[in-house]
Chains A and B, each alone.
Chain A
Amino acid sequence: MLPSRVRRGAPGSYARGKTAAGAVANVGMTVAAYARPVTRPPEDSEAWVAALGGPPAVREPALAELHGLLLRGARFELARRRASLPHLPADELDDLAHQAADDALAAILAKLGTFRRASRFTTWAYKFVLLEAGVKARRRAWQGREVPLDDGDWAVARDQRPSAQRVVEGGEALRALGVAVRESLTPHQRRVFRALALDGVPIDVLAERMGTTRGALYKTLHDARRKLRARLAAEGHLDEAPTMGGAT
């Protein structure tokens, strides 16, 4: 059975005709409100795939339906992150939701052939818009904020970052960690570990600033953590034996 509801409006203009009042009302909703669907499309993954790859008369309503679903997901995610974007006006926040839904729809259509049917289609589709909305929100929240990318004196006592300061002022194991960071990591690993683990820079923000990918950065962080864990275990600061598990 195909998605039953057809959004009215010109094909391709998916829900772009919002009003300012509508936008304000949208972002004023709570996370719980977005988690509760207004309408429920039939959950039939094969129908979604067939409709999205079908002739225009079938495809266009399915695209509009999917865009509506994605927009709901984007608004849900941005409502969750509203506290990290206190200065963003409501209409801009809703515009961010539309951008995320548009970008997610494009990504989904480009990857429709890779849908493995290992999950419901809607769950598969939601992950694209949550990624888009999350990345956009994190980058917007860090817009204009400096991200220290040096690998130098990261844990000096004057440093006010809570984690770094606690490493300096903490017990023996934390001081050993500080030494291990200086002595065991490469400059690149030190830079990435400092930004992600100590400074709490979102990985998407760091990837954008360093011109790399989230996957590559996490691999670097993982390798750094493995080195540090092995050294601290060898020195008797950890209970467990060092592990050699890998992040792919």
Chain B
Amino acid sequence: MSPDRPDRELLARLLGPAGPEIGCDECFELIDEYVDLELAGEDADARLPGMRAHLEGCPACREEHESLRALASDT
């Protein structure tokens, strides 16, 4: 039986991304390239697979991505 919507959202958060993802160390190695690809309008997710899933599953890396994107977009 499929869970109700609130349960589904909590489950999704607790269980993290369903697809393949990279780890925190690889995320740090690639995050600058990923952000500059995003800002250049390139398909960053196709070029660096597994990054998006990791950002969904790791709050710390997600926050750093948001900050890096904000800073890099203004330099």
Contacts and interface: CB of A to CB of B under 8 A. Distances in A.
Contacts of B58: 203, 218
Nearest to B74: A35
B20 A246 contact: yes
Interface size on B, as a range, is: 35 or more
Contacts, number: 153
Contact of B71 (A126, A237, A240): A126
Contacts of A221: 16, 57
Interface stretch (A17-25, A52-60, A117-125): A117-125
Contact of B3 (A31, A35, A130, A171): A171
A222 B57 contact: yes
A75 to B, nearest CB: 11
Contacts of A124: 32
Interface of B: 1-4, 6-8, 10-11, 13-26, 28, 30-33, 35-36, 50, 53-54, 57-60, 63-64, 67-68, 70-72, 74-75
20 contacts: A36-B74, A37-B74, A73-B71, A76-B71, A118-B30, A119-B32, A119-B35, A120-B32, A127-B68, A130-B64, A134-B63, A167-B10, A171-B7, A197-B14, A198-B14, A225-B57, A239-B2, A243-B18, A245-B17, A248-B25
Interface of A: 31, 35-37, 40, 43, 73, 76-77, 80, 116, 118-120, 122-124, 126-127, 130-131, 134, 138, 163, 166-167, 170-174, 177, 197-198, 202-204, 214-215, 218-219, 221-222, 225, 228-229, 232, 236-240, 243, 245-248
